[in-house]
Structure 1
Amino acid sequence: MADEEEIKLVETISSGIETCKQHAVCIRNAYKSYGTRRHPYAVIKGLNMTVPKGIIYGLLGASGCGKTTILSCIVGRRNLDSGDIFVLGGRPGRKGSGVPGPKVGYMPQEIALYVDFSIKETFYYFGWINGMTTSAIKEKMNFFLDFLQLPGPKRIIRNLSGGQQRRISLAISLVQDPELLILDEPTVGVDPLLRENIWTHLVKLAATKNVTIILTTHYIDETKDAGIIGLMRGGKFLAEETPENLLKTYNVESLEDVFLKLSEIQEQQRAERVKERGETIEARTETQHKKRFQKYVPEKEERWGIMDYVKFANPHRMKALTWKNFLWMWRNVGMFVFVILLPIIETILYCLTIGPDPEYLQISYANYELNFSKKCNKPPKNCSFNLLSCRFLEALEDNSLDMVRCKTKKEAIENVRDGKAWGAMFFASSYSQEFQKRFEEGFEANDETVNLSTAIIHMDMSNQHIAYMIMRHMLWAYLEFSANFLILDPDFTNFAAPGLILTMIFFLAVALTVGALMMERKEGMLERCLVLGVLPAEILLSLTLTQCVIVCLQTAMILIFSFVVFDIIVEGSIFWVVLLTLLNGLCGMCFGFVIATVCEEERTAVYLSMGSLLPIIMLCGICWPVEGMHIILRYWSFALPLTFPTESLRALMARGWGVQKTKVYVGFVSTIIWTAGFLIVSVLILKYKRG
């Protein structure tokens, strides 16, 4: 018996689904909530909606009742928590459904236009997105300019009034002659006469071209010309009927009065349910029914296959997206110039501030070889052992060290304690004689001779970098004074340059892509384009093509100023240096894509971008060798995108190694892997991240 009931249920559900697919839009038992699982806020509660083909459907209700959420679910930008939705015979987002795609014209609540573009450029962009020819776009544009009383085609959108911008947004949603038209409050702020003309045009589209139109509006009575209206309150429909039947059924003169009566009835019913404590049971019963309904829904819709993603580069859409990106750069030429000049400024600041030794550091000395009232004269040029202390002091005199003569050892030490000098140096009265004796006796010299022939140095170690730098200078001076040995200059500028070059290119690329994608999301353009069928991969590819031009210019500026102007050492092939830097910029772009797709707000994206900067600089061997880090941090650094490329670029520049060396090619491989990973993650987030 149970099996027979189950079979009947399957047949009933299947029959209902086939009936649903005959309508333009069909929603059954829909639920949608926001917030957390523990504290959900239900927006749609068991809603059923039927929109036949070729009619105007007015979706009416107060702000916050769920109208915009329903429209977003219809165009595939949000998913229901439970329930079923069919649009143009298929589920939104499934292959063959036509949603998202050019079959749908979508006008969101926000303007969702590029405000730096002209009216003509806006029409061209959306026309090309929908695969229209330029001549067809011009014809449509001229019609809407006249019909919607818009200014000339060369007017910039930013300079138009809010009402004019909304009219352009409406025209854009109609430009490709869609089969289904979704309009979210299209007549807000529109002149009453023009509003009447718009309604006349919509009625004509539905009657003559079988276009299905779903619209929301605050002006309830203007929907008198709609075929069906759905009165929505508290996430449910109060009624779904023709305007004439509603007026006749409730015996009132306006739809406003109908809405008022139905709202009062809903409140009375709610009060009765609360009183009887049956509301929770009712909600649980509906949810259980929904689960049974979902269990028996046959999945007939064809899913997207891997080849559909391989062949993603639609030429019409790619042309429009790439053209749009370059046009935006041209319209913001000041920002473009700043972006190109920024790496030059950063390179100059780096080379002028990082690496050069501090100058004019004072060292106090007391030379007991001389009378305290005398300074060192020029020591003789011959090989005599006279006044060797003066020879040593002469070797120490340069721009970095400022030798200050003191009368006593105590005075020199006091200068260090008072912060007037970074170190104190002393020579014994018999320094030259004992040095000669030590030289002659070699390893047989006694401790007294060694001590008296040694220059004693006391250093202020509060700043270890300066202290070690001074000791390095003293060592060089001693080697020059004693044996003329050559020593390689361990230049910090050249050590840190590879990491800083990659960091600048990486994070400039991050900033560019985060800014570009967040701007599109903020203005509503990203969602509007996705509804029109633009694939996430196409959006990211077009941005990559555009941003690569900027990254190439930035790379050229950084490398020219680093290698030509500031003479940073580059021993290896410049080709591999440039290639690795460009790949690193591409990796930064893809990381920016991930940040922009994960974050909903610009502020969050900025925090995440800036928050990732310091760990990468500290842990990727840019400021200090990875080998000097704690063992745990050392392993953690290997999981960051700049560690291996930094070592690779350092080997290319300082050692002159070729790409055949493991340390070099590992940097290239690591960058490519990170780039591919970031790109895949961002595409998946764009595709599947919905409300």
Structure 2
Amino acid sequence: MDAETEGLPPVENENNSNPIDIHARRKWFKSQQSTVATRRQQAVCVRRAHKIYGTKKNPNVILDGLNMTVPKGAIYGLLGASGCGKTTLLSCIVGRRRLNSGEIWVLGGRPGSKGSGVPGPRIGYMPQEIALYGEFTIRETLIYFGWIYGMNTDDVDEKTDFLLKLLQLPNASRFVKNLSGGQQRRMSLAAALIHEPELLILDEPTVGVDPVLRQTIWDYLVDITKFGKTTVIVTTHYIDETRQAHMIGLMRGGKFLAEESPDDLLRQYHADSLEDVFLKLSVIQNMGKRRRSSIAKEVIDAVQLPAMTNPALDLSHDDDNGEISGEFGDNISMSSRGPDLTSPHVVAATPLPPEEEASSSCSDYFKILKSHHMKALIWKNFLWMWRNVGVMCFVIGLPVCQTILFCLAIGHDPTGLQIAVSNHELSENLLAQQKCPIYKGCNATMLSCRYLEFLKNRSVVVTHYATDEEAYDVVRRGKAWGALVFAHNYSESLVDRTEYGQSTPDSVIDASELNVKLDMSNQQIGTLLYRDIQYAYLDFIENILKECDQDPAVGRIPIAWKDPIYGDRIPNFTDFAAPGVQLTIIFFLSVALTSGAMVIERNEGILERCLVSGVTGFEILASHVVTQFLVMCFQTTLVLIFSFSVFELTLRGDLFWVIMLVLETGLCGMCFGFVISCAVDNERSATYLALGSFLPIIMLCGIIWPIEGMHPLLKFPSFFLPLTLSTESLRSITQRGWPIEDPHVYIGFISTGIWILIFLTGSILLLKFKKG
């Protein structure tokens, strides 16, 4: 006889009419609860579990003093109304939630301990959610989970054929999203059964399954537990189907009402169905209340109460739950709320057996990535991208479109700016024809028209008006950006001003001046017009001096503007803003890509299921880094090609370090996206957080305005933002041509690397400690 089944009653009789001696085995399982069972006989033990922990559906779940024993090789039915703590208890068993007090022993060790395999491949877990990728086929889904559990592809294919027949699933090439609701539930069950785990935990596996197939599933569960190699814990809404379980635990309000075999419960409480047992136990739980309904009295009279060894049924204290509700009956108000008093008759729970120590080598402590986990995760990520090729084309093409829009729309001088002119040198006839005659050579006639010609060469549109007030009124009505006024003797006065020198009278000075009024409501346009009006005047003076055979330098301002050390003589705002814009595009697209993928996985339950299967948070992050880094490489390549080859933005430094810095910044954005996805609970919150961080980073990182122009209170913190130093570093490479050895350059790489470590550490901690 196998050592694991030694001492068990026989499981088959000679004529095979009763494949399992359920009654005898239930007696044996019950006897194991009264003593400390051996590790071979116990699969799960929970002792004095106490947890105040909320879920999304019920934030007030309280597990109060639970004692639970699941012998190895048993089918354990965990039953109770919605919100009573079943799913929370299962989450504690698989190691995804922690108890405030108490102990849990699973398969020879505590969940999460070294070598326990929990979470890990020793458990098969089917959550309430479907928790599957809709874009994958049935076969691809089972391959993914099979690889997670360390199976090879041939074994997965063999097991897939068996599960398709057992669970009556369609062709393996059918996409999960195209399955019906019941088929998706069965597909989720198949993912839990694929690797034949030692402990199978099923959270409502038969919802939406027809009665015939439901019976087939239960027959299979009974079969795999025959020889004690597999233990099953199952929750279900169909309470009577647990008649085939070896033992059931009835929960209500975070407490166990009973933990017995189905036959013992029916006999003990003189009930025809398990639903009646649950109803009677719920009434008994509320017998300590001050008010009783007629229903309660009838139930109490009909039941011979056993010895009250269960504190959940102890009549010496009140319970704060005064209703019988949920799947097992209509709401029955039993009493008003009362305080929860601790029973003095609590029976001490048996201690847990000693924890089995798993053998491990020194190298195991350095293996933070498992090859079969990374293989499955990376394959899954690439397959998702392939199945969403439209989305990926948009993601890759979006930075290119943004770069093109930036290069075409930002930094260029405005053209076609309207200027209103009141030139009193023009006759009424010339004014009506909008003509301003130009006289070439050393000629001082109509110098105003000669100047306006130089102004027009700077893409300014000139319109003549009869009076000064008309010109000013056009500016007031927003039809022009400025008004110029020439006196009727402007040309003569300009010549006299040159000839008189220091003795020039005030009247000549006033008449020789060009009166300008601008609309400065738009700083960029106003500043550019201010510059062009002056530059056009200097060109006008130099041209006249040259025509009159004089040195043009005489008419220049006595300041010699030499070639700048860095940059161009006329600064280009596109070159100034391009480094920050390039980094911002790559950074925030990486944020959007990673935060969206992680949030979707968690909300659909896929992330939780992977963590229960033994995948670590670091492995999940690493797999996304690998796959999305390749996507980012395509994005970066296209952005740089369009920036420096197509639009010929300034690049005076080494292109290699430009590429490295952009890729590092994209990696930083990915890690920031991980933090967002781990910190929030839904896609809307992730979007709000990403958008909320976008504007502060844009405004404070020196991307669109120099940090030197900020308020003193903002200058210091702005240096610690993710893109500040990297933007200045990239600007130093492209505009100044500085090498990597320069502190202004390598500080950007160091700063970005520090932020990557900060974001990765935050993501891992959030994945580890943030539950739900």
TM-score relative to the length of structure 1: 0.90
Residue 84 of structure 1: aligned partner:
103
Tell me the residue number matched to 1:658: 739
User: Once the 2 structures are TM-superposed, how far is the Cα of residue 298 of structure 1 from its aligned partner?
Assistant: 10
Q: Equivalent residues in 2 for 1:371-520 (5 A)?
A: 371-374=427-430, 377=436, 379-398=438-457, 400-439=459-498, 448-483=507-542, 488-520=569-601
How far does the alpha carbon of each residue in 1:572-591 deviate from its partner, in whole angstroms, 9 at most, with x for none? 22222121111111110000
Residue 290 of structure 2 corresponds to residue 231 of structure 1: no
Give, as a single letter, the amino acid of the residue that structure 2 aligns with 1:344. V
- Select the structure with the greater relative contact order (CA < 8 A; seq sep ≥ 6): 1
For 1:191, the equivalent position in structure 2 comes to 210
* 2:79 and 2:249 in contact (8 A); partners too: yes
CA RMSD across the alignment: 3.1
Question: Match of 1:660, SS?
Answer: coil
The answer to whether structure 1 residue 123 and structure 2 residue 123 are counterparts is: no
Deviation string for 1:104-133 (max 9, x for gaps)? 000001111111111111111111111111
What are the equivalent positions in structure 2 for 1:649-688 lying under 5 Å apart? Answer: 649-688=730-769
| Alignment-derived partner of residue 10 in structure 1 | none
1:135-284 equivalence runs, <5 A: 135-271=154-290, 273-274=317-318, 280=339, 282-283=341-342
Secondary structure of 2:50's counterpart equals strand
The aligned counterpart of 2:629 is: 548
Q: Which amino acid aligns with 1:369?
A: E
The amino acid that maps onto 2:392 is F
Verify the 8 A CA contact 1:395 1:481 in the aligned structure 2: yes
Cα offset, 1:491, TM superposition: 2.2
**Which has the larger displacement, 462-471 or 609-618?**
462-471
Change (3 A) 1:382 1:305: farther
Distance in structure 1 (CA, Å) of the matches to 2:362 and 2:484: 75
Paired residues of 1:94 and 1:304 also in contact (CA < 8 A): no
What's the offset of the Cα at 1:371? 3.2
1:602: which partner in 2?
Answer: 683
Once the two structures are superposed, residues 565-618 of structure 1 have per-residue CA deviations (whole angstroms, 9 ceiling, x without a partner) of 323222222222121111111110000000000111111111111111111111
Q: Kindly indicate whether the alpha-carbon contact (under 8 Å) linking 2:668 and 2:753 is maintained by their aligned counterparts in 1.
A: yes
The change in CA–CA distance for 1:307 and 1:613 in structure 2 (over 3 A counts) is farther
Q: By how many angstroms is 1:193 displaced?
A: 1.7
Would the aligned equivalents of 1:79 and 1:690 in 2 still touch at CA under 8 Å? no
For residues 524-577 of structure 1, the C-alpha deviation after alignment (integer angstroms, 9 at most, x for no partner) is 111111001001111111111111121111112222222233232222222221
**Is the 2:135–2:384 contact (alpha carbons within 8 Å) kept by the matching residues of 1?**
yes
The answer as to 2:615 corresponding to 1:534 is yes
> How far apart, CA to CA, are the structure 1 residues paired with 2:243 and 2:319?
37
Q: How far does the alpha carbon of each residue in 1:154-190 deviate from its partner, in whole angstroms, 9 at most, with x for none?
A: 1111111111111111111111111111000111111
Q: Which stretch shows the higher mean deviation, 300-309 or 533-542?
A: 300-309
Distance change >3 Å, CA 567–CA 445, structure 1 → 2: farther
Decide whether aligned partners of structure 1 residues 426 and 27 sit closer, same or farther in structure 2, where only a CA change above 3 A counts: same
Q: Which moved more, 1:237-246 or 1:447-456?
A: 447-456
Q: Is residue 368 of structure 2 the alignment partner of residue 312 of structure 1?
A: yes
For 2:616 and 2:319, the matched residues in 1 are separated by 51
Change (3 A) 1:439 1:229: same
The equivalent position to 1:616 in structure 2, one of 697, 717, 728, is 697
- Work out which of the residue numbers 643, 660, 683 in structure 2 matches 1:562: 643
| Matched-pair contact (CA < 8 Å) for 1:379–1:390 | yes
Q: How far did 1:641 drift?
A: 0.4
Paired with 2:110 and 2:260, the residues of 1 have a C-alpha distance of 24
Relative to structure 1, the CA distance from residue 170 to residue 31 in structure 2 (aligned partners, 3 Å threshold; closer, same or farther) is same
Identify if the C-alpha distance between structure 1 residues 24 and 321 changes in structure 2 by more than 3 Å, giving closer, same or farther. Answer: same
SS state at 1:215 partner: strand
CA distance in structure 1 between the partners assigned to 2:616 and 2:500 by the alignment:
84
Bigger CA radius of gyration: 2
Inter-partner Cα distance in structure 2 for 1:299 and 1:639: 48
Count of matched residue positions in the alignment of Structure 1 and Structure 2: 671
Equivalents in 2 of 1:442, 1:298: separation in Å? 108
Asked whether the equivalents of residues 33 and 40 of structure 1 are also in contact (C-alpha less than 8 Å), the reply is no
Q: Higher helix proportion, which one?
A: 1
Q: CA deviation at 1:619?
A: 0.9
Secondary structure class of the residue paired with 2:151: coil
Aligned partner letter, 1:23? Q
Contact between 1:385 and 1:436, CA under 8 Å: does it hold in 2? yes
> Residues 422 and 468 of structure 2 are in contact (CA less than 8 Å); yes or no, is this contact kept in structure 1?
yes
**Take 1:249 and 1:298, find their aligned partners in 2: how far apart are those partners?**
34
Question: Distance between the aligned counterparts of 1:363 and 1:169, measured in 2?
Answer: 72
Deviates more, 1:519-528 or 1:370-379: 370-379
Ranges in structure 2 where 5+ consecutive residues have no aligned partner: 1-33, 291-314, 321-335, 544-555, 562-567
Deviating more after overlay: 450-459 vs 485-494: 485-494
Q: Secondary structure at the match of 2:381?
A: helix
Q: Is the 8 A contact 1:357 1:400 kept in 2?
A: no
Rounded Cα–Cα distance in structure 2 between residues aligned with 1:647 and 1:269: 73
Cα 1:558–1:425 shift into 2, 3 Å: same
Confirm or deny: 8 A CA contact 1:132 1:176 kept in the other structure. yes
TM-score w.r.t. length of structure 2: 0.81
| 1:582 is aligned to 2:641 | no
Contact 2:285 2:319 in 1 (8 A): no
Q: Distance in 2 between matches of 1:440 and 1:308?
A: 94
**Per-residue deviation, 1:302:** 8.9
Is the contact made by 1:109 and 1:184 (CA closer than 8 Å) also made in structure 2?
A: yes
Letter in 1 for 2:532: H
The alpha-carbon deviation at position 360 of structure 1 amounts to 1.9
AA aligned to 1:79 is R
The residue type equivalent to 1:429 in the other structure is H
Shift in alpha-carbon separation, 1:303–1:491, aligned structure 2, 3 A: farther
Q: Give the distance between the partners of 1:301 and 1:94, measured in 2 at CA.
A: 9
After superposition, the Cα gap between the structure-2 partners of 1:384 and 1:501, relative to the gap in structure 1 and judged at 3 Å, is same
How far is the alpha carbon of 1:453 from its aligned partner?
3.0
Give the CA deviation at 1:653. Answer: 1.8
Q: Distance in 2 between matches of 1:441 and 1:579?
A: 64
Distance 1:400 1:233, change over 3 A: same
Distance (whole Å) between structure 2 residues aligned to residue 180 and residue 300 of structure 1: 16
Moved more, 427-436 or 644-653: 427-436
Shift of 1:207: 1.5
Q: Does residue 1:345 correspond to 2:345, yes or no?
A: no
User: Who is 1:57 aligned against?
Assistant: 76
**SS at 1:357's partner residue?**
coil
SS of residue in 1 equivalent to 2:135 = coil
Structure 1 residue corresponding to 2:392, chosen from 317, 330, 336: 336
Rate the CA distance shift 1:251–1:650 in 2: closer, same or farther, 3 A.
same
Q: Tell me the amino acid that sits aligned with residue 468 of structure 1.
A: T
Report Cα offsets for 1:251-301 as digits up to 9, x if no partner. 2222222112111101113556349999757349899x99xx99x999998
Task: Tell me the secondary structure at the aligned position of residue 282 of structure 1.
Answer: coil
Match of 1:690 in 2: 771
Query: What's the CA shift string for 1:430-474, capped at 9, x where partnerless?
Result: 433443344456677565554433311111222222211211221
TM superposition shift of 1:70: 0.6
Give the 5 Å matches for 1:79-118. 79-118=98-137
Distance between the aligned counterparts of 1:447 and 1:566, measured in 2? 52
SS at match of 1:24: strand
| Local SS of the residue matching 2:415 | coil
